[in-house]
Homo-oligomer: A and B are copies of this chain.
Amino acid sequence: MNAAMEHRMKIGFIGLGRMGTAIAGRLLRHGFDLAVYNRTPEKAADLAKAGARVATSIADVCGGRNVVITMLADDAAIDAVVLGQGGVRDSLAAGAIHIAMGTHGVDAIRALDAAHRQGGQQLVAAPVLGRPDAAEAGQLGIVAAGPAEAVAACQPVFDVIGKRTFKAGDGAAGAAAIKLSNNFLLGCCIEAMGEAFSLVRKYGVAPEVLYDVLTEGLFAAPAYKVYGRLIVDEAYDKVGFATLLGLKDINLVLAAGQAERVPLPSASNLRDRLLGAIAHGDGDKDWAVVAREQARASGLE
């Protein structure tokens, strides 16, 4: 899409949580024509000042738009917003594109995809990698999948908010599988560290030593540095991602495995540990708290 096409892009944006607000704000700052909608309209105030039109309903935010972006918290929310009566499917023009940027399960994405096809619309799944501040800085990773020309048409949006677009093929569910895999590997990294930290503690070694060995060696990566640090400091109250949300995501991973018949024993194990942590009252802690659950299982707490 060239600059001329870009200027013809009229975007509706639904879902103004922290990430949605950051993305919408950046799009506005880069000159996109944006209508925004949130169930609780107060959240749109700042964006309105920055030039967004605040829509009063889903139908309203879809009206006259050739692209609608959703950034919603979970599958239930996107189901309601898109498939409900007067929802995106009912309201979006034929030929328009829905970019689903939240983290959703493959079943939800496939249901949306089928619904949009019936409506003559196109679905591009484009979950993002990174936090809201990365969105504001245009430094997200974007995993995009869907019909090739629809993905191409969305590129101007991706270029503004992200540093790289990872193309995950024609099937929108493929982008969900990639995003979920990323979260799954993060959970496995935490779980494995949790087990190892319990082990070395039992041998009288300060956790810090293992942290240094890992992060100065084979595991010199953000996942190990950030979560290893949380575990070493037992700083589970600094909640980057809550245990209950971790459980939700791992359930989506397992559901993705089930839909295509892939046994995922590491995910099963992680799920059991998350449940144990929640059973012990740590559901609202950062999901690094699985390390504490492991310590409990080892008789250390």
Chain B residues whose C-beta falls within 8 Å of the C-beta of A3 in the assembled complex: none
| Chain B residues positioned under 8 Å from A196 (CB to CB) | 181, 184-185
Residues of chain B within 8 A (CB-CB) of A296 are 296
Residues from 208 to 263 in A contacting B, C-beta threshold 8 Å = 209-210, 212-214, 216-224, 247, 251, 253, 256-258, 260-263
Contacts of A210 in B (CB 8 A): 178, 181-182
Bound Cα distance A178, B205 (Å): 8
What size tier do the contact residues of chain A reach?
35 or more
* A106 B203 Cβ-Cβ under 8 A: yes
Contacting residues of chain A (167-191) with chain B, CB-CB under 8 angstroms:
167-171, 173-174, 176-178, 180-182, 184-186, 188-189, 191
Docked-complex contact A218 and B216, CB < 8 angstroms: no
Known contacts: A169-B204, A170-B204, A205-B169. The answer to whether A275 contacts B263 by CB under 8 A is yes
- Give the top 10 A-B pairs by smallest Cβ distance, nearest first: A279-B299, A221-B221, A268-B268, A261-B279, A202-B260, A263-B272, A188-B192, A177-B203, A181-B196, A218-B223
User: Known contacts A193-B185, A218-B182; is A262 also within 8 Å of B202 by CB?
Assistant: yes
